[in-house]
Amino acid sequence: MELLETIAYEHGLDLIETTSDGTGYPRDLKYAVIGFETFDEAQELADRYGLTVREFTRRDGWQLWVRGGKMFGEYDYEKVMGEGYPNEVIRTYRHTDAEDVISDLREHLQYASLRDMKILIENAEEVLEKLDGCQPDEFIVTCAGEYDGTYHCKTMSFAYDSSRYAIGIAE
């Protein structure tokens, strides 16, 4: 624990307590470090100190993180956000997808009342404005047509469906 504690302190990272039990029950407790900006940063420290780059997950409300398997790169957050929901609820757009936003708007306008048309158009205008500032390594998420946020495609941690995911280092 002392090594991991020192690494976390010296590099401004987070020390977490982990379990081997997938239900979050305290079993085979160990410590790990998360909070890395890039995978290369995590791999460099893992190599330097003889540690392993791993995935850690925690359900909301749990105290302990669950130790997962080895990781070999960042999460593809765009893929995570694009899966698991019907396309009409959660949509992702890249900086080159302005035509898709307009196409989606046209499709929804067919079935909308006059009042709803105004809201749909305003939402689409906001999404198009956000796409203008979107970088090639970012994507936009909409929820039911409304702008939800701009995110990096690759990430070292994220929250999804009442769980948290992070890539870090451990023994």
pLDDT digits (tens, 9 = 90+) for 111-130: 999 999 999 999 999 999 99
Reported pTM: 0.81
Any idea of the CA torsion for 134, 92, 73, 24, to the nearest 10 degrees? 130
Do 150 and 91 belong to one domain?
A: yes
pLDDT reported for residue 81: 77
Do 97 and 133 belong to one domain?
A: yes
Burial pattern 116-143, b for ≥16 Cβ within 10 A else e, equals eeeebeebbeebbebbeebeeebbbbbe
Do 54 and 89 belong to one domain?
A: no
pLDDT reported for residue 87: 61
Do 123 and 163 belong to one domain?
A: no
pLDDT reported for residue 90: 84
Helix (H, G, I), strand (E, B) or coil at 79: helix
Domain of residue 54 covers 2-74+156-170
Looking at the 3D structure of the chain, how many domains does it have?
A: 2
pLDDT reported for residue 1: 81
Do 70 and 81 belong to one domain?
A: no
Low-confidence ranges of the chain (pLDDT < 70): 82-88
pLDDT reported for residue 61: 95
Q: Which helix (H) or strand (E) holds 44?
A: helix 39-49
pLDDT digits (tens, 9 = 90+) for 91-115: 899 999 999 999 999 999 999 999 9
Do 95 and 148 belong to one domain?
A: yes
Do 61 and 127 belong to one domain?
A: no
Do 86 and 146 belong to one domain?
A: yes
pLDDT reported for residue 11: 97
pLDDT reported for residue 102: 96
pLDDT reported for residue 167: 98
